[in-house]
Amino acid sequence: MPASATLRLQIERSLEARFPAALTPVPRTIRETAATGIAAVDELLDGGFPVGAISELVGPSCSGRTSLALAFLAERTAEERFCAWVDAEDAFDPESAAASGVLLEQLLWVRCGGAKKEREKNWTRLEQALKATDLLLQAGGFAAIVLDLAGIDPTEGMRIPLATWFRYRQAADRTRCSLLVLGRASYAQSSAAMVLDAEPMRLEEVGGTMLHAGAFALSRRRQRFPQQWNNARKPPTSTWTASAPWAVEQSA
């Protein structure tokens, strides 16, 4: 046996009472996934969004982030699972959600609305959304929760304590909930299992107020865990299209 292997074995044996297998790498965790219902996206994500973890969907207005979230909830609610949408800016449109296939009777809509005024009130709405998300995660029973921070100023989102995201990650893992965070920037940092960037490629409007169809690009910025069927290397970018009508996202 090589000297290095012998030394490692001796160290592990001396520490095994306090730190079992101290030098043994932790095995890679295979995560359960939940499909989005969009074939190109599910292929990119090796099956879908991770279950029991935080995923961030980052992009500007009209980047497809809301449409992708609605497609995901449509899949979850079609399985008769309860989901929630925490709406920090009172921007959620139930009619667009229903048109995207979401079963509204399976969806809890948490409204944290209010007029867009000074910074302090903006932060108050954000605090309400964070508290609501915390309560829902701790209570359990939700297959998926969307925390919609798309209308929040990124400088406000950066103020969210890391301890909050860590608590969310622990609760999501315990309750087997997929927490999807929508925003113009990434906020969860190391607590996010997956960070995705979305951007528009082609948009078709009707009457200037409704999107009839659109093509979007989605890329993986970071993915911590290998997924359920990660048998081959996937491309880092994928495109997808949506044809159901939904409301145009308004710029903050």
SS3 state of residue 86: strand
SS3 state of residue 102: coil
Structural domains for the chain: 29-247 (3.40.50.300)
Q: Over the stretch 76-97, which tens digit does the pLDDT of each residue have? A: 999 999 999 999 988 999 998 9
Rounded distance, CA 48 to CA 42, Å? 5
In the predicted structure, residue 251 carries a pLDDT above the cut 60: no
SS3 state of residue 168: helix
Contact yes or no for 56/187 (Cβ under 8 A): yes
In the predicted structure, residue 114 carries a pLDDT above the cut 60: no
Burial state string for 184-223 with b = 16 or more CB within 10 A and e = fewer than 16: bebbbeebbbbbbbbebeeeeeeeeeebeebebbbebeeb
| Residue 202: per-residue pLDDT | 57
In the predicted structure, residue 161 carries a pLDDT above the cut 70: yes
Contact yes or no for 145/86 (Cβ under 8 A): yes
Q: What six digits make up the tokens of 5? A: 């292997």
Cβ neighbours for 113, distance < 8 A, ≥ 6 positions apart: 87, 89, 90, 125
H or E element at residue 195 = strand 192-206
Q: Over the stretch 179-224, which tens digit does the pLDDT of each residue have? A: 999 999 999 989 999 999 888 765 555 555 555 455 677 777 766 5
Question: What pTM did the predictor assign?
Answer: 0.74
Rounded distance, CA 108 to CA 112, Å? 13
Rounded distance, CA 94 to CA 109, Å? 9
